[in-house]
Amino acid sequence: MAPPAHWPLDLRGRFDEAFVRIGRRLSEPAIGARIDQAAWQRAIRRCETLLDTQARLVLLHGDLHLGNVLDGGPSRGLFAIDPKACVGDPCFDAVDYVVAGAGQEGVEARCQWVAAACGLDGDRLYAWSRVVAPMAAIAHLTYDGPEPVIDELLALSR
């Protein structure tokens, strides 16, 4: 299904804002010691390439991470909260579930499973994981996340 005509927000705008907001954190010593400007600029270039090659646009939740999905029990099931609705690549809403595989079965394996289960382009989904990996690494560095998770996220950022 096509997104609503003239939807006011798109994925490019969401990323423009996110790269500025989260990118400020690179000046913090604990973050800057692990993620440099070169890695950040690679993520921006990768993002721009994906945005420039979006073949199909859909209405996205826009912030569909694990904390924004709740279990409503047997009668309601899972439901998403706190949308930041925008139009963009259908792979984007699945990327946080892929990146959550870091330090576990691995992002690449999780990517294959999620892409197959959701009918998504696995190569694009993996490319999106490389875009958001440094952002996820910053979150884990901030909250003393497990080192294997951080290591895998940083490797994806290279």
Per-residue pLDDT of the chain (158 residues; tens, 9 = 90+): 678 888 999 999 999 999 999 999 999 999 999 999 999 999 999 999 999 999 999 999 999 998 999 999 999 999 999 999 999 999 999 999 999 999 999 999 999 999 999 999 999 999 999 999 999 999 999 999 999 999 999 999 99
- Average confidence score pLDDT of the chain: 96
The predicted pLDDT at position 54 comes to 95
Is 63 in the active site?
yes
- The pLDDT value given to residue 4: 84
Buried-exposed string 68-103: b where 16+ CB fall within 10 A, e elsewhere = beeeeeeeeeeeeeeeeebbbbbbbbbbbbbbbbbb
pLDDT, tens digit (0-9, with 9 covering 90-100), for 65-103: 989 999 999 999 999 999 999 999 999 999 999 999 999
- Give me the catalytic one of 10, 16, 52, 63: 63
Contact partners, residue 65, CB within 8 Å, separation at least 6: 96
Structure tokens at 97: 């579930």
Fill in the amino acid letter for 53.
Answer: T
- What pLDDT does 144 receive? 95
Distance CA 128, CA 122 (A): 10
pTM, two decimal places? 0.94
